[in-house]
Structure 1
Amino acid sequence: MRSIKEYFVLLLKGIAMGSADVVPGVSGGTIAFITGIYDELLNSIKSVDGTAFKLLFQFKLKEFWNHINGSFLITLLTGIGISIFSLAKLISFILITYPVLVWSFFFGLIIISAVLVARDIEVKDWKALIAGIIGVFIAYIITAASPSQTPDAWWFILISGAIAICAMILPGISGAFILLILGKYKYIIEAVETFDVATLAIFAIGCIIGLLSFARLVSWFLKNYQSITVAVLAGFMVGSLYKVWPWKVVDSFRINSAGEQVPLFDHNVLPKQYLEETGQNPQLIEAILMASLGIFIVVAIEKIASMLNVKKEG
């Protein structure tokens, strides 16, 4: 039984996880690992099983709550929620105001994350290499072929939530990064900012479905085919860099459900071409600095995690 002080510390850990989950390239799972709650988080998620639902349907609420480690989960989720809702407005603002710098920051985050994820491949053989190349190819095709705006239909939001939650609980893989690939990062951030209850509810249901199904499937693949699975994940990150390239020129627009004009198709250009086509400053030096900052942050988090892991094993 945790004390009030321990629950407060757990709340702060949830806030830290939420902060990571809204930034593509930084994993909430990594923060959970660093703060020493990763194993308890996974075990709590896995405890939402047939036994848990049986207890719930029998209205044995106390037994159900204890079975799923409810006090731990609700405290952690509250912290994550506080962080996400607090940061959504800021992220939405800077994405509009400083797009090149923000996407450069995300670019740096994802590059170094891909390197660190690839480093964790246990068996670096030809199978892992092919799996990585396939991952790069699939992610590139998805991000290059899809328009800037993917469907806003409820079923796509549901699927996005189900897939993103799997990444959110895996160290090294960012849920926000998955939303970025699916073209739903800005959309969900805006839904949080405006408190779009319908969209958030559908997304939350997708997350629950993901936790109860896909997350277990991903865990099974990691346990039984670690090298191939990790290689594919690293390949996804490399292939998706097309999506976060900072300099883009919009080819066409569309009107969204809110009656606003938003980009439909765009293409990547080099900084010089960006200046020529848009007349806007490409901010090359600043972009390089922001990408470097993203790399530094991920490396720092990884170093802290490694030191804590060594200390724990010692």
Structure 2
Amino acid sequence: MAFADSVPGVSGGTIAFILGFYDQFISSLHTLLHGNWAAKKQALRFLIKLGGGWIVGFLLAVSLLADFFTTGIYQVSSLFLGFVVASLPLVYSEEKAAIRGQYKYIPFAFLGAAILILLTRLNFSSMVENLGLSPFTAIYVVIAGMLAISAMVLPGISGSTLLMSFGLYVPALSTVKELMHGDFHHAWILLFLLIGIVIGVFLSLGGIKKMLESHRSAAMYTILGMMIASLYAIVMGPTTLSEPEPMMTFHSFHIVWFIAGCAAVAAINFLKHWMQKRNDSKTEA
């Protein structure tokens, strides 16, 4: 989940969805905020185990991506495209009941796609070209954090894709790496992102849970629309760097990295089914 959350394209929610514990993840977060004490303790145990792995994975991802994202943007973007393309059929396969035959909800797919494309086209990154601490940038970063965490918990759009559209992805990634080396000069970026994340969780979690429980077909079509549109956001990603590069084209596309992204998602799906068969064998024994 951390590796997915740290790159634009696939959200950590998608990985949780593919591995089969997404509903438990959302319910545990909701219970932690609104459940009774006994339920809170059970949810907390699950989230601590999940969070421990997430922190380790995120720090590893930052160590690998912070520099490579700027020096190898087209290779990384090709990798992200592979993540998304390979994830689409898996999400469809897991949610056939909510998607197949529910064609009246197709407009929600267009809505989800339109929202993400609009955010990408607005290209907020130009607003933080000379990023410095001020009341405006503080509010801007908090709002971006609120939207990013809302996206991260959905099995579709990546919060990192939104941070890329807001021009905050590379600064946030670089700041985390600076902190790992004892440099706190830009720590305020992460502080205000964290504030936005906490506010976003409180505001969005209940709505997301209710949407998935009561209006799952509409939610799934919206998620699929956002996933498809995230391909466009990734292609445009190089234009959001602090020193903008041209958008990805067929000439700058790297097929080997794309295949690697597809293979990574396929490996995760294989792991899920292997674990299910193993658990089923233990139950029968």
**What is the TM-score when the length of structure 1 is the normalising length?**
0.69
Asked if 1:139 corresponds to 2:106, the answer is no
Aligned-pair CA distance for 1:199: 1.6
1:40-71 Cα distance to aligned partner (Å, 9 max, x none): 5444322333677xxxxxxxxxx799647545
Q: Is the 8 A contact 2:85 2:262 kept in 1?
A: yes
Change (3 A) 1:73 1:138: closer
Cα distance in 2, alignment partners of residues 114 and 64 from structure 1: 37
Q: How does 1:147-162 map to 2 (within 5 A)?
A: 147-151=124-128, 153-162=137-146
**Residue equivalent to 1:116:** 90
**Residue equivalent to 1:102:** 76
Asked if 1:293 corresponds to 2:267, the answer is no
Cα distance in 1, alignment partners of residues 54 and 63 from structure 2: 15
Cα distance in 1, alignment partners of residues 139 and 38 from structure 2: 30
Aligned-pair CA distance for 1:94: 0.8
Q: How does 1:1-314 map to 2 (within 5 A)?
A: 17-32=1-16, 41-49=25-33, 67=41, 69-70=43-44, 72-74=46-48, 76-119=50-93, 120=95, 122-124=98-100, 125-151=102-128, 153-171=137-155, 173-195=157-179, 196-245=186-235, 262-263=242-243, 268=247, 270-271=249-250, 282=252, 284=253, 287-309=254-276
Bigger RCO of structures 1 and 2 (CA < 8 A, at least 6 apart): 2
Change (3 A) 1:107 1:150: farther
Cα distance in 2, alignment partners of residues 24 and 201 from structure 1: 21
**AA aligned opposite 2:224:** A
Cα distance in 2, alignment partners of residues 137 and 39 from structure 1: 26
Cα distance in 2, alignment partners of residues 225 and 36 from structure 1: 19
Cα distance in 2, alignment partners of residues 181 and 247 from structure 1: 8
Cα distance in 1, alignment partners of residues 116 and 229 from structure 2: 5
The answer to which of 25-34 and 234-243 deviates more is 25-34
The answer to which of 123-132 and 74-83 deviates more is 74-83
Cα distance in 2, alignment partners of residues 41 and 242 from structure 1: 28
Aligned-pair CA distance for 1:198: 1.7
Structure 1 vs Structure 2 CA RMSD: 3.5
Percent identity over the alignment is: 27
Please list every run of 5 or more consecutive structure 1 residues that lacks an aligned counterpart in the other structure: 1-16, 53-62, 254-261, 273-281
Greater Cα radius of gyration, structure 1 or 2: 1
Cα distance in 2, alignment partners of residues 135 and 69 from structure 1: 30
Secondary structure, counterpart of 1:270 in structure 2: coil
Secondary structure, counterpart of 1:213 in structure 2: helix
Q: Is the 8 A contact 1:112 1:298 kept in 2?
A: yes
Paired residues, what number?
A: 265
- Higher helix residue share: 2
1:156-185 Cα distance to aligned partner (Å, 9 max, x none): 322222232234334455433343344432
